[in-house]
A and B are shown apart, each in its own frame.
Chain A
Amino acid sequence: MQTEFLIQIKDLKASIDNKEILKGLTLEVKPGEIHAIMGPNGSGKSTLANVLTGREIATVTSGTVTFEGKNLLEMSPEERAREGIFLSFQYPIEIPGVSMVNFMKTAINEQRKHRGLEPLSASEFLRQMREKKELVEIDSALTNRSVNEGFSGGEKKKNEIFQMAMLEPRLALLDETDSGLDIDALRIVANGVNKIRRPDTSVIVITHYQRLLDYIVPDFVHVLYDGRIVKSGGPELALKLEERGYDWIRKEAEVSEETWTTDRK
């Protein structure tokens, strides 16, 4: 049976060093949907990105994550990537001595192997590199260098979107992709995402600020607070957060927490 959801996260709990960070998070994303997850510092946004991509910093203590009907939590980071999950890193890593070309060629061919496809020919690979570079307006000189080495903050973020363009994921997680970008770079990065997205590509945008959502318009906005999604709505919720901050959410959440605790007693 074809599942209706691309990814289903149910009652997910995860901790770092025995401290519970995600405290029962539930989120369902259908193919082609864009979800924004907003929340104050320390609410668990980055932990969610870590758990979904298989980084072993956080330990999942309970809950399930199903991706296209498969148990995501059993997969290694590389298997998740090959299944079509892509994370745009908040802080992309510099890897001296590893060329962008070699990195992308290896990544693409590993994914193709996973899908039972032959490796790309050199000319086809270069053609794709060229095409995708134009799409995300990344300087050609950068892709001739080592991965992220000596790139500015904006160039690193563009490079993440370039990799997304090359790898054509089913689900893209954009972790604070807007942080540290000036308005021009933000527009280029956001438009890049829009241009490379196919109709069935889903996106989860993790962000502090509303401004990225002017360009990547979400179908749903969720507020993550203290390890749980405490409020969901449409794009208007993001505007409201931008205007009023997170305090009213905090109050609402604490009230409901009390009510909930009282109810249980």
Chain B
Amino acid sequence: MDYRPEVISRLTELWEGKDAGVLQGSPDIYNRYRAEAFSEFLRLGIPDRKNEAYKYTNLEKSFGHRYEQYFSPKPDDFREAERFHCEVEDLDVWNMVLLNGFFPRGDEGLAMLPGGIWVGSMKAAARQFPSLVEKHYNKYARNENDGLVPLNTALASDGLFLYAPKNTVYTKPIQIVNLLHSTQDIFTQDRNLVVVEDGAQMSLLVCDHAISPQHYLTNTVTEVYVGCNARFEIIRVQNQHNDSGKITHTFIHQERDSFASSNNITLHGGLVRNATWHRLNGENAETHSYGLFLADKQQHIANFVKVDHAAPNCNSTQLFKGVLDDNASGAFNGRIMVHKDAQKTNAFQSSNSIILSDTARMDTKPQLEIYADDVKCSHGATVGQLDENALFYLRSRGIDAKEAKLMLMFGFAHDVIKNIPIEALRERIDNLVLMRLRGELSRCASCAIQCN
């Protein structure tokens, strides 16, 4: 039986009570898009496997669950989050903790970091930088057949705003620790906007932790504008649990001579789908999309990438790797679209997965759509087991079979991790991946709030 009509009717109820409820006090700058977005959601619905982009991903496990609450934060909620300290030794970052995607003290103004970068809630941004928000908000997110994007536009009440004005450079990464914490099963939606203006640089690390065992579903939309000759890096580390669902849609819009890279490291999560959209809108821009996931039990991890080459002389790479054990399943759907005028495009895509059990499953779907005639594009996908020759080589030096397998898996994963631009973070993530492969990584690892 289709689970969706009931979910949609609950969401419709939420929509109808929004003004006195979840969207109380929401700025007009966001509200003006909501009605159209909600009808768009009703038209498109919750994607099912008939949708090409969700062909291998069944959302029922997460969307079919009956959540007790739709999260819309109240000041009291943040007490737990404020006690949290992320222990990353040697990692020199500017650090901030969010709760279920929301900024604590969201009604206060934005904070300015050294170098002149602004950070805070979307609500505060609407007050402080109305014309900037108006210029960028909801300009890069595209619905393209996916009802979950307009669902976010319609109902997300707040989120994170980051703004690097022209030529501002903040050399430290900005770390956002996003805690999922609740006493009830919750569905939460956050909407984020990042603006990196011409010549500015920003490096963003987002760590998603589920720190209480409730069922979660998060539907996140993040829009990123990267101006001319600007540089933007985002690294996501997702460490949740088997009852959490995480859906992200990230839209990175790049102007000429800009650089962007996205790196999604999924260590743990019941159902995770990361969709990353890169649009190369100006000449000589460069973009990279990386992903690594480690899945076991009944987990499902999907990565969807679309790189739009809309201007000539741009370069893009995609590298996605996964290790799947038990009954886990994974999907990779990567598209490269080269528009008619995007001559001299270089676009590469690669997806490699290792399957450790007979019952794990990986589906990959590379797609190239090329309308220009002077381009270099390639794609490659492999799904296989650990290399027996390499395994024997390690064992022949006295390393036991179990440790040898671990080393090979780690080596396989490191190929993605090595692209992380911050060394201390690379080491930290190497370490997390190793712990995860050894089965030592729990949702409580490195969390200061000892809830038990």
CB distance from B397 to the nearest CB of A (A): 4
- In the complex, A98→B415 CA distance in Å? 10
| Chain B residue nearest in CB terms to A77 | B395
Question: Are A93 and B397 in contact (CB-based, < 8 A)?
Answer: no
Tell me whether A97 is interfacial, beta carbon within 8 Å. Answer: yes
Pair B398/A97 contact, Cβ less than 8 Å: no
Q: Tell yes or no: A92 within 8 A of B by CB.
A: yes
Say whether B11 faces chain A, with CB atoms less than 8 Å apart. no
Residues of A within 8 A of B396 (CB): 53-55, 77-78, 80-81, 86-87, 89
Cα A54 to Cα B403 with chains together (Å)? 18
Would B392 and A55 count as touching, CB distance under 8 A?
yes
A97 vs B433: C-alpha distance when bound (angstroms): 13
Chain A residues whose C-beta falls within 8 Å of the C-beta of B390 in the assembled complex = 93-95
A93 and B393 contacting across the interface, CB-CB below 8 Å = yes
Contact A107–B399 (Cβ < 8 Å): yes
Which secondary structure dominates where chain B touches chain A? Answer: helix
Other-chain contact of A97, B389, B392, B393, B411 (Cβ < 8 Å): B411
For A80, list chain B residues within 8 Å (CB). 396
Chain A min CB distance to B438 (Å): 13
Asked if A197 is at the interface (CB within 8 A of a chain B CB), the reply is: no
When distances are taken between beta carbons in the complex, the residues of chain B under 8 Å from A82 are 398
**Is A103 part of the contact surface with B, judged by Cβ < 8 Å?**
yes
In angstroms, Cα B75 to Cα A186, docked, is 73
Complex contacts, A43 vs chain B, CB 8 Å: none
- B63 CB → nearest A CB, Å: 36
Among B398, B403, B413, B414, point to the contact of A81 (Cβ < 8 A). B398
Considering only CB atoms, which chain B residue lies closest to A114 in the complex?
A: B398
Check if A76 is an interface residue, CB within 8 A of chain B: yes
| Contact A102 B398, beta carbon cutoff 8 Å | no
CB distance from B104 to the nearest CB of A (A): 39
**Scoring A residues 95 to 121 as 1 if CB is less than 8 Å from chain B, else 0, what string do you get?**
111100011001100110010000000
| B444 proximity list for chain A (CB < 8 A) | none
B410 CB contact (under 8 Å) in A93, A97, A107, A110: A97
Closest to B414 in A: A97
- Say if the beta carbon of A146 comes within 8 Å of chain B: yes
Q: Which residues of B contact A202 (CB under 8 A)?
A: none
Q: Out of B394, B395, B418, name the residue touching A95 (CB < 8 Å).
A: B394
Q: Give a binary string over B383-411; 1 marks a CB under 8 Å from any A CB, 0 the rest.
A: 00001011011111111110110011011
Q: Are the CB atoms of A107 and B398 closer together than 8 Å?
A: yes
Q: Does B412 contact A (CB under 8 A)?
A: yes
Assess A107 versus B397: contact at CB under 8 Å? Given A95-B408, A97-B410, A97-B411: yes
User: When the two chains form their complex, are residues A167 and B397 in contact, meaning their CB atoms are under 8 A apart?
Assistant: yes
Known: A96-B411, A146-B411. A163 touches B397 (CB 8 A): yes
Whole-angstrom distance between the alpha carbons of A87 and B392 in the complex? 11
Question: Among the interface residues B395, B396, B414, which one has the most CB atoms of the partner chain A within 10 A?
Answer: B396
User: Would you call B410 and A78 a contact (CB within 8 A)?
Assistant: no
Q: Which of B70-85 contact A (CB under 8 A)?
A: none
Given A78-B400, A106-B403, A110-B403, A98-B395 contact (CB < 8 Å)? no
Given A93-B393, A103-B394, does the pair A98, B407 have CB atoms closer than 8 Å?
yes
Question: Cβ of A98: which chain B residues have Cβ within 8 Å of it?
Answer: 394, 407-408, 410-411
B389 CB to nearest A CB, Å: 5
Q: A76-B401, A97-B414, A97-B415 are in contact. Are A106 and B395 (CB under 8 A)?
A: no
Give 1 or 0 for each of B363-401: 1 = CB within 8 Å of chain A CB. 000000000000000000000000101101111111111
Contact call A78/B401, Cβ cutoff below 8 A: yes
> A96-B415, A97-B413 are contacts. A103–B389 as well, Cβ < 8 Å?
no
Give the most central of A53, A77, A89: most B CB within 10 Å: A77
User: Closest residue to B392 on the A side, CB-wise?
Assistant: A55
Q: Considering the complex, which residues of chain B in the window 203-226 have a beta carbon less than 8 Å from any beta carbon of chain A?
A: none
CB of A238 to closest CB in B, whole Å: 27
Chain A minimum-CB-distance residue to B404: A78
Please report the C-alpha to C-alpha distance between residue A107 and residue B414 in the assembled complex, in whole angstroms. Answer: 20
By a CB distance below 8 angstroms, the chain B residues around A76 are 395, 400-401
Q: A54 vs B391: C-alpha distance in the bound complex, in angstroms?
A: 12
* CB closest residue in chain B, given A91: B389
A-chain residues with CB within 8 Å of residue B394 when the two chains form the complex? 95, 98, 103, 107
Chain B residues contacting A93 (CB-CB under 8 Å) are 387, 389-390, 393
Q: Is the CB of B398 within 8 A of A95?
A: no
Whole-angstrom distance between the Cβ of B204 and the nearest chain A Cβ: 25
Separation of A119 and B440 alpha carbons in the complex (Å)? 22
Residues of B within 8 A of A53 (CB): 396
> From residue 89 to 129 of chain B, which have CB atoms closer than 8 A to chain A?
none
CB distance from A154 to the nearest CB of B (A): 18
A-B residue pairs in contact (CB < 8 Å), sample of 13: A53-B396, A54-B396, A76-B400, A81-B395, A96-B411, A97-B410, A97-B415, A97-B418, A98-B394, A98-B407, A107-B397, A110-B400, A110-B403
Give 6 A-B pairs besides A54-B395, A97-B410 with Cβ atoms closer than 8 angstroms: A89-B396, A93-B387, A110-B399, A110-B403, A146-B411, A167-B398
In the A-B complex, the 9 residue pairs with the closest CB atoms: A97-B411, A81-B398, A97-B414, A98-B411, A107-B397, A77-B395, A93-B393, A110-B398, A78-B395
